[in-house]
Structure 1
């Protein structure tokens, strides 16, 4: 972890079963005062609409708190979901963890 950047790296799937724990983890970071959050999706193989809702909720909450949320390392299938949903136009998505850390460190 670089500086005060918090990293969350979910594995496997984010869906109706795993979503509540992921949501709790992410929102606890934001509500606890974290203002630079990296969601590293390198080990994510599937995200449902429930998972997309959680990411959007986290992004909105972080923006309201004056912080930044960045996603990175989306595999082609996950990237396509973000593209089709239009989330790639409203979220900061970078190709690698290093690029995301550099981007967050600059703020």
Structure 2
């Protein structure tokens, strides 16, 4: 599991790759935590690029739920883009597409968030 961050315009994009499961969820949470703190009203929104995520378990979804709650409390913006088919199905079944704005690709998400 890896997380690489970069700015695209006024949006911080974090490209996540690998599996987010029981073995990597804690690492994902640790890598995500410093990116969530500055996501506040008027600050750069955070976009999670999931194009490289090939699997997410319920433990990974829990990390995302906590992230969404934190950003909402801080009045910031967070979104997810480029779900792989397997992860998109997990999001649909678990209704996580209602928790996060989900975009088909990074370019569309950046435009929407900016």
TM-score normalised to structure 2 length: 0.85
Runs of 4+ residues over 3 Å off in structure 1: none
Question: In the alignment, does 2:110 pair up with 1:94?
Answer: no
Q: Which residue of 2 aligns with 1:63?
A: 72
Among 27, 30, 54, the residue aligned to 1:24 = 30
Aligned length: 104
More helix by share: 1
- C-alpha contact (below 8 Å) 2:56/2:87 kept by paired residues: yes
Q: CA deviation at 1:21?
A: 1.5
Structure having the higher strand fraction is 2
The runs of 5 or more residues in structure 2 that have no matched partner are 1-6
Report the RMSD for the aligned CA atoms in angstroms.
1.2
Structure 2: distance between partners of 1:22 and 1:8: 11
- SS of residue matched to 1:66: coil
**3-state DSSP of counterpart to 2:19:** strand
Are the aligned partners of 1:70 and 1:91 in contact in 2 as well (CA < 8 Å)?
Answer: yes
1:13 and 2:22 aligned:
no
TM-score, normalised to structure 1, is 0.90
Structure 1 residue 34 corresponds to structure 2 residue 43: no
Q: Which ranges in structure 1 are unaligned for 5 or more consecutive residues?
A: none
